[in-house]
Amino acid sequence: MLEILWSIGIEEQFYLLVAPLFLLIPSKRIVYFLLFFTVCYFIIYNIEDIDFFRKYKLLFYYFSMSGIIAVLSIKCPDFKVKSGVKGLIFFLFILYFVTDIFAAGTSELTYQLISMILFSVLIFCIVQTPYSLLENSRLKYLGKISYGIYMLHAIVMHFVGLIFMNLHSKILDHHPAIFILIFNLLTLTLTIFVSHFSYRYFESYFLKLKTAKTYTQP
């Protein structure tokens, strides 16, 4: 749970650091600023004699690199990634998750560089072309409650784990594959269920409050 809160904290720290600077930078130079920030910060982060950023895993360059892609996608709406390049990106994405070819076969610096570029470009490819699967209303709703899913899944997972630790069913003891399947399905189902109610009765109140504050400001 602390790791989840940590990642949210890192994201907010990045916004607090970079977002105010946008007020001082002409909009046409934001991409150059983000590029400069990404390159410089990536180098500083990986300098061995400077361990502060690595100690607290202040991985700001992931956000700034994604920001570059986001700005370019808005400023260059007619730019299209060729289908062959998209196929290569998706293939590398699958390799990234189902193998350790990048993690085990490269240095830490190279692995970070690959991760930073791959995920940013992947998001650009997905956003650029609408996919019918991603346009599904149920999947869109999961996106709407994704904050709750992200924040609450660890709590649900521990709760389900406590229940399973007290079960002594022969099926669970002698069929680990079934145990894993049931555990993950139950965790996923309960997470979505809890996140739905969190969004409906808790988060939506603050979202409406934020909207009201925005429209009432002079």
- State pTM to two decimals: 0.75
The encoded tokens of residue 80 equal 């299209």
84 shares its domain with 154: no
User: Backbone dihedral region of 196: left (phi > 0), alpha (psi from -120 to 50 degrees) or beta?
Assistant: alpha
- Same domain, residue pair 117 and 184: no
Beta carbons within 8 Å of 114's beta carbon, 6+ residues apart: 96, 102, 106
The end-to-end CA distance of the chain, in Å, is 39
Question: What is the spatial distance between Cα 70 and Cα 72, in angstroms, rounded to a whole number?
Answer: 6
Between CA 176 and CA 169 the distance in angstroms is 11
* pLDDT of res. 45: 93
- 176 in the same domain as 95: no
Domain boundary among 68, 102, 128: 128
The encoded tokens of residue 12 equal 């907010």
pLDDT of residue 79: 83
Same domain, 98 and 49: yes
Tell me 106's DSSP state: S
Is residue 138 within 8 Å of 192, Cβ to Cβ? no
The total of structural domains in the chain comes to 2
Which run of H or of E encompasses 5? helix 2-22
17 and 92 part of one domain: yes
73 and 116 part of one domain: yes
Same domain, 62 and 9: yes
Is 92 in the same domain as 147? no
Distance from C-alpha of 161 to C-alpha of 79, rounded to nearest angstrom: 48
Q: Are residues 63 and 168 in the same domain?
A: no
Among 110, 128, 146, the domain boundary falls at 128
Candidates 155, 157, 156, 145; CA nearest to 195 is 145
* DSSP helix/strand/coil, 91: helix
Last residue of a domain, one of 128, 148, 172: 128
Q: Are 116 and 37 in contact (CB under 8 A)?
A: no
- Reading the chain (218 residues) residue by residue, the pLDDT tens digits are 556 676 777 888 888 888 888 889 998 899 999 999 999 999 999 998 888 888 888 889 999 999 999 898 888 878 888 889 999 999 999 999 888 888 887 888 999 999 999 999 998 888 877 777 777 888 889 989 988 898 898 899 989 988 887 765 655 666 777 778 888 999 999 999 999 999 998 888 877 776 665 555 55
The Cα-based distances of 114 to 39, 50, 107 in angstroms read: 14, 22, 11
Residues 10 and 118 in one domain: yes
At 97 the three-state DSSP class reads helix
Token reading at 110: 């190279």
| Range of the structural domain that residue 60 is part of | 2-128
Neighbours of 74 (CB within 10 A): 8
Q: 46: which DSSP letter?
A: T
Number of neighbouring beta carbons within 10 Å of residue 148:
20
Q: What integer pLDDT is reported at residue 166 of this predicted model?
A: 73
